[in-house]
Amino acid sequence: MPLLSITWFLFSLLSLAVWVATGYFLWSYFEGETVRTLDGALVREREEWRLWTALMLLAWSLFGRFLVTPLVAKPDCRERDFKRRAGRMIEGEQGPIYVEERGKSNARVLVLSHGQGLDSTLWTELADELAKRFRVISWDLPGLGRSKRASGFAPTGAARGLRSVLRATKAKDAVLVGHSFGGMTVQEFAQLDPQLFRDAVSGIVLLNTTYTNPVRTTLGSGFFSAIQKPVLEPSSHLTIWLQPIAWANLWQSYLSGCAHLANRIQFGKDVTRSLLEQTTLVATRNPPASIEKRNLGMYHWSGLRDGVIDKPTLIIAGGRDIIIKREASEEIARRLPNACLEVIERANHMGPFEQVEAYGAAIATFAATIDNPQTAPAPVG
Dist CA 292 CA 23 (whole Å): 30
pLDDT of residue 1 exceeding 90: no
What is the predicted pLDDT for the residue at 38? 67
Question: For residue range 33-46, what is the model confidence (pLDDT) as tens digits?
Answer: 877 666 777 677 88
Cβ–Cβ < 8 Å for 127, 169: no
Q: Give the torsion sign (CA, 29, 35, 37, 41).
A: positive
What is the predicted pLDDT for the residue at 374? 46
Helix (H/G/I), strand (E/B), else coil: 109: strand
Question: For residue range 166-191, what is the model confidence (pLDDT) as tens digits?
Answer: 999 999 999 999 999 999 999 999 99
Under DSSP, the state recorded for 229 is I
Dist CA 159 CA 173 (whole Å): 18
pLDDT of residue 379 exceeding 60: no
Average pLDDT over residues 105-122: 95
pLDDT, mean over the chain: 92
> Considering only CA atoms, which of 211, 240, 216 is closest in space to residue 226?
216
What are the C-alpha distances in Å from 79 to residues 204, 267, 273?
31, 19, 11
pTM for the full model? 0.92
Q: Report all structural domains of the chain as residue ranges with CATH numbers, in order of start.
A: 1-371 (3.40.50.1820)
What is the predicted pLDDT for the residue at 150? 65
Tell me the H-state helices in 46-140: 48-63, 65-72, 124-130
Of the candidate ranges 3-12, 158-167, 208-217, the one whose mean pLDDT is the lowest: 3-12
Helix (H/G/I), strand (E/B), else coil: 97: strand
pLDDT of residue 376 exceeding 90: no
Cβ–Cβ < 8 Å for 131, 85: no
Helix 181-192 to helix 155-169 angle (10° resolution) is 70
Q: Which amino acid is at 319?
A: G
What are the C-alpha distances in Å from 183 to residues 113, 158, 271?
7, 11, 22
Count CB neighbours of 83 within 10 A.
Answer: 7
State residue 291 phi and psi, 5-degree precision: -65, -45
What is the predicted pLDDT for the residue at 147? 92
Question: For residue range 89-111, what is the model confidence (pLDDT) as tens digits?
Answer: 999 888 899 999 999 888 999 99
Dist CA 55 CA 74 (whole Å): 29
Q: For residue 98, what are the β-bridge partners?
A: 89
For the chain, helix, strand, coil in percent to 5 are 50, 15, 30
Question: For residue range 146-156, what is the model confidence (pLDDT) as tens digits?
Answer: 997 766 678 89
Question: For residue range 132-143, what is the model confidence (pLDDT) as tens digits?
Answer: 999 999 999 999
pLDDT of residue 62 exceeding 60: yes
Cβ–Cβ < 8 Å for 338, 379: yes
Question: For residue range 260-314, what is the model confidence (pLDDT) as tens digits?
Answer: 999 999 999 999 999 999 999 999 999 999 999 999 999 999 899 988 999 999 9
Confidence of residue 375 (pLDDT cuts 50, 70, 90): very low
Q: Is 144 left (phi over 0), alpha (psi -120 to 50) or beta?
A: beta
